[in-house]
Amino acid sequence: MELDIPRVPGGYGTILIDPPWPYGQKLTGANVRGGAEKHYETMTLEEISALPVRQLAARDAIVWLWTTNTHHHAAFHALECVNLRAAMPKYHDSSALRLR
């Protein structure tokens, strides 16, 4: 999946990432509503980990990453790949990570 993200001088102060997480569900049938892959193109965990967050972010940016419980561990790993430190918000289903 190729991304065309505009750059801004000094980087973005806040970044919200809502990646299309892979679920690998093999659901079939006319009445099936679930299964992300049936509705939109997903990204691999490697692709999500390679997002250019560091290149787009300002020095002290706050990065919000939307995830589900299924991918909670992978979400932390993905952002560790770009040297982020986790700071859990009060919300149970999202994670805010601050650049070091």
Q: Model pTM?
A: 0.69
Average pLDDT value for residue range 15-43: 73
pLDDT digits (tens, 9 = 90+) for 64-75: 888 888 888 888
Tokens of 18: 């809502």
Helix (H) / strand (E) containing 66: strand 57-66
* Residue-averaged pLDDT of the chain: 77
Q: What is the pLDDT of residue 90?
A: 53
**Alpha carbons 7 and 12: distance in angstroms, whole number:** 8
